Structure 1
């Protein structure tokens, strides 16, 4: 009885407290609501919101929605009975060093690395991801996939850092610069803890080149000093551990243009050099990409890798499986290990990709309409389950070369399957982006035509058959895609054109022939819009066409600004009236 009275008193107190808070904040909440309502009634606010949604659609076209979570990692190679070729991995990560600067003048600027290059090094060009940012490069290098832009965070994902920390007596050390590394190596307590670690990953960030011109004298001077300091740090690490069990990677997160900028997708920004040497590195692999000549006619092999391929390669060097969200194939021939070690490392890569494929296929089959939708026919759940049985059969019969070929084939098929499902809504998103772009321009033309001719003409509003039909179609499509378990960002992008065209139809005047005036001005819209869409597939030529269209329209706007006092100009070109006066 007392407990019931106490519970009643507690709930009454909470109710009174909630009502008091609501009464105190009601006026404040009402003011915020009114301000937001007034702000959204302004044209510029509406168009800013439309542009944000269009940018979200473009981001969704270029980047996948995000990795699949709750995936189980594979076994480590030591757990499979094989010793890793390296106990430590040191990564020197620069920022702003591009490939042509690294290889210019026959690598004369990297004289401190030339003996390592000739003796045991592996050098080449890695293709970084877009956008060319340090954060994106870290995800590509240590997680094995291309992340969405930082403005649209991917969330938690697996990486070499997680795998190293989760292993028995594994340790991860990050150093902000080379001096920080030197201080740690001079500390006996820090060195002792690193020596006791069975697996050690050290990442040294070197960002002395950010914002500089690669052709500038100070840039070249800083580059020369940095590579000398990296060579000194390498010798200090070797003398500290003195066991020849350390692998090294020297690479850049991204390059710089001649103006010192980065972040886009030009070859100068995406082509970055890499130099791999140390324990477990095969300095002369059989799969030669091309030859490169350095001083005195000495020829070295120049290799080309995707930046995401370093994740499975670095993992295999220290005996780890690839990160669970890795999308890259382990490059073969780059490790100085036994055939059995390379075969099992490739097998782990295949299992990791197949596990990811199995998860995304299962998520696709959770959808209500998956039986009637397209699917990847070369790989399904039954074939994924058959892979392990087939590998066991081949190994039991001693056919190890065929087992290696089977793993390589499984990796290729799994990559194709993942690409198919990650880009599953690519074509519908292109269509909706085009419709949203044209709808926003139609909305502007309808609004501006009405205001530039006669302000007494009233729009039809939202209670018309066209707007009700559009809203109904949008809601139905959203429900269908939601029942198919599509990502939230994909659902939003597919619904954007329905909302924009509903606004456009609501601006149709109640009387008059409204169709011809907007269509008359579509000549100012179709060419730039088509150029934007075609630039998604053919960036350079159609990007140039779009630039020419913009320049022509801007020049027309300048001419119209000289005649802004003539009302006939506003009647013929209402879009420029909004551009100049709103």
Structure 2
């Protein structure tokens, strides 16, 4: 069993990592020649202001009195420079956004996960090419563009990371700190001749990173809904030497209605992509374009000669073409000549012809034609870069899909072998093909390895291409099982087999669609509420059935509610805590009556857990009020929060191993932590979910009794025990497929019940303010992940009880769950996008990652649930027979 778990984990880790090799490898290449415009630049120095978190609609719009919120910027738009919208991509974390601005390329998704503080890949950026660059702002950001500098020409100046406190009284101090230190630099130059000389050189950059707006946004949340287009529209205002003055126009057309709203319809608007700003800055001060930039120079903004515009665009085209050539050469060298298919739209001859023609246009002073031709070359080169970047995608994707299908087939065969009572003759005739099969797969593996070796493929290619071989070998070894199972289905098919199969397929599709539309979970829960009516449950267990219907319908409300975090309501959190206390009192009374006496340590434990809930309510209220008054996070509240979190996984181990008692103890402990991590109605969600889980356990026991299997114990006396495997009690049935589907559905509901986790905006930092307010991405991320996992733990613990009460091997049910999850994962593998809006790309990645993480975490959560339900620690060393 242990070997099987390790093998399963390995396979799923490979499947999980595969999308980053197939869809999201770094697009960067190295070895290009720097390109710069061979004409005097219009500016000696450049100042780059980045107001992190500032949206275009908030900067440009007028207030209720018709006045601008930023009069200085408004004056520049109307009298001094050019303006527009910089179209970013989401997720808009500082890391990829600033890389796009300063380096000119959009960093791949996997790089974001490698940390804010280091460059996961080497890339060229604007500061590299300057004589000197000074930067001020956040330490997490500035370090990226100082450690990566080729020469000692970048001088970062950052405040301490502890200054990024979301609960601070005034986070605008982050921005005033930047301006104060800029002034200090220039004051210091008066008495420092070396610094004075550097500041007066040409080709220098000053970078001011202003984090105050972004920090305020995290602390107080924006007003728009999650994933709103406004979040990807940032203001772009530029003025000074080399920049066009404002242009009056009578009319201009854009796809949005912003111009009328902002009263700027008569001022020429210049929209750019975020990556276009890097080549613009490079051309203004006359430094080489960043080598890895894919930005297109917005020549319409330049106030220079037509010759300078044409030469700059020519430089831009050659710089991107250089990347294309290097990429093509790398791919050609790594592919067998008879298999290599070049990008036909940009052959060597076509490159030369376009470059010659563009140079000829410039000599003939046909500058507009030269610019247009260079743009055509850039677009072809970008398409070619994409072509070679995705060259191996189909080949790798095919191998991963092959592995997916093989693994699912093998897991299905394991269930069939264990529970279908198939009679398979073990004869020599059966063994001979197995030996031949092994030799065939070994030979095939050697051929695949040789093929990859000749092409100098990365080691990960060997994993993706060779992994399906042992999987399919294991499947084909069981060919007699497949034959017998098919024969069994044809000769003696189970009742309503086709109907069950169609219902299963429909259920999986509902789960897949629910990732895009949360209300599908509501539809599923309403369908679940009707379950008792199509079975004898309604007549035999009416009270339990009514409870099931009530909690299904109550839980169905949550997916219809807005995403958590938009409108915090601390009183709902406190109300959830009070409901937990009320439920605790009722349960406590019931248990005391049931036992006609009570174990001392059990009483202390219940009271301690109830006290923990009370403390959580007080901490949430106190922290909320303190932050509202901008007094920061009280130390006592912070200490209490961490103590409750640390004890939440230990206290349940002290409770009685009786099924009901242990599950309720787990509920109390984890609810204490969940209350501390809640900001609104989501605090009620795990309470309703856990109540439904309790009813589910009772419903499954009733279902088992109706199927003719006797239950020797009542739920009030059943105990969780280690190493329980009840395989010998009964075979797998179609009802067990339903149980496995219920588990997956409840897990997906636990994930999406209170928000769209696929959207980055659902991660509301206010959730962790009871624990810390100073920015710490890894600690905050860990706390938010634990918040997500708490409902998972409830569901998994309930599933442990279902396995115990239904007398089926945990291995078989767990395998069925893995199969359902993998079928969903295969859906999302085909739906992954690396084109279109970055929101679409990010969502498609999130869906796949969520399902694969769920599959991997299921193994971890299954182990955690077993520990929480089966382990028992003694309190004060007393035997549990002592009664009050």
Rounded to whole Å, the distance in 1 between the matches of 2:252 and 2:55 is: 22
CA 1:204 to 1:266, structure 2 compared with 1: closer, same or farther past 3 Å?
same
Alignment pair present for 1:420 and 2:387: yes
Match of 1:4 in 2: none
TM-score (normalised: structure 1): 0.69
Match of 2:484 in 1: 513
Match of 2:188 in 1: 189
Residue 389 of structure 1, CA deviation = 4.1
Rounded to whole Å, the distance in 2 between the matches of 1:455 and 1:510 is: 7
Residue 324 of structure 1, CA deviation = 1.3
CA 1:169 to 1:513, structure 2 compared with 1: closer, same or farther past 3 Å?
closer
Contact kept in structure 2, 1:170 and 1:198, CA below 8 Å: no
CA 1:448 to 1:270, structure 2 compared with 1: closer, same or farther past 3 Å?
farther
Gaps of 5+ in 1: 1-37, 221-255, 260-264, 536-540
1:387-418 Cα offsets, whole Å, 9 max, x none, are 54444444455544443333222212211211
1:511-551 Cα offsets, whole Å, 9 max, x none, are 8635689998986886788899xx9xxxxx78537984898
SS of the aligned residue for 2:89 comes to coil
Contact kept in structure 1, 2:132 and 2:205, CA below 8 Å: no
Contact kept in structure 2, 1:140 and 1:307, CA below 8 Å: yes
Contact kept in structure 2, 1:436 and 1:497, CA below 8 Å: yes
Q: Residue 206 of structure 2: which of 202, 208, 213 is its match?
A: 202
1:34-90 Cα offsets, whole Å, 9 max, x none, are xxxx96x252x444433332232223444244311122211x33xx2x221222222
Residue 304 of structure 1, CA deviation = 3.0
Contact kept in structure 2, 1:98 and 1:268, CA below 8 Å: yes
Contact kept in structure 2, 1:91 and 1:203, CA below 8 Å: yes
Contact kept in structure 2, 1:281 and 1:334, CA below 8 Å: yes
Gaps of 5+ in 2: 134-149, 159-173, 190-194, 490-496, 532-691, 710-728, 741-812, 818-857, 864-884
Q: Residue 92 of structure 1: which of 49, 56, 80 is its match?
A: 49
Q: How well do the aligned residues superpose, as a CA RMSD in angstroms?
A: 4.6
Contact kept in structure 2, 1:528 and 1:550, CA below 8 Å: no
Alignment pair present for 1:145 and 2:77: no
SS of the aligned residue for 2:346 comes to coil
Residue 345 of structure 1, CA deviation = 0.8
CA 1:393 to 1:42, structure 2 compared with 1: closer, same or farther past 3 Å?
same
Rounded to whole Å, the distance in 2 between the matches of 1:163 and 1:467 is: 58
Rounded to whole Å, the distance in 2 between the matches of 1:211 and 1:156 is: 28
Match of 2:74 in 1: 114
Match of 1:409 in 2: 376
Rounded to whole Å, the distance in 2 between the matches of 1:72 and 1:166 is: 21
Rounded to whole Å, the distance in 1 between the matches of 2:43 and 2:32 is: 26
Residue 279 of structure 1, CA deviation = 2.6
Rounded to whole Å, the distance in 1 between the matches of 2:212 and 2:9 is: 37
Match of 1:164 in 2: 130
TM-score (normalised: structure 2): 0.47
Alignment pair present for 1:571 and 2:733: yes
Where do 1:131-530 residues align within 5 Å? 131-148=91-108, 149-150=110-111, 151=113, 155-165=121-131, 171-176=153-158, 177-178=174-175, 179-187=177-185, 188-190=187-189, 192-210=196-214, 258=225, 267-284=229-246, 290=254, 292-293=259-260, 299-451=266-418, 469=440, 473=444, 476-477=447-448, 479-481=450-452, 483-485=454-456, 489=460, 492-493=463-464, 495=466, 497-498=468-469, 500-502=471-473, 504-505=475-476, 513-514=484-485
**Larger-gyration structure (1/2):** 2
Match of 2:11 in 1: 50
Residue 341 of structure 1, CA deviation = 1.0
Rounded to whole Å, the distance in 2 between the matches of 1:52 and 1:382 is: 45
Residue 441 of structure 1, CA deviation = 3.1
Residue 490 of structure 1, CA deviation = 5.5
More strand by share: 1
Contact kept in structure 2, 1:358 and 1:381, CA below 8 Å: no
Contact kept in structure 2, 1:312 and 1:329, CA below 8 Å: yes
SS of the aligned residue for 1:89 comes to strand
Q: RCO higher in 1 or 2 (8 Å CA, sep ≥ 6)? A: 1
1:119-152 Cα offsets, whole Å, 9 max, x none, are 2233333232354321111221122222122236
Residue 103 of structure 1, CA deviation = 4.2
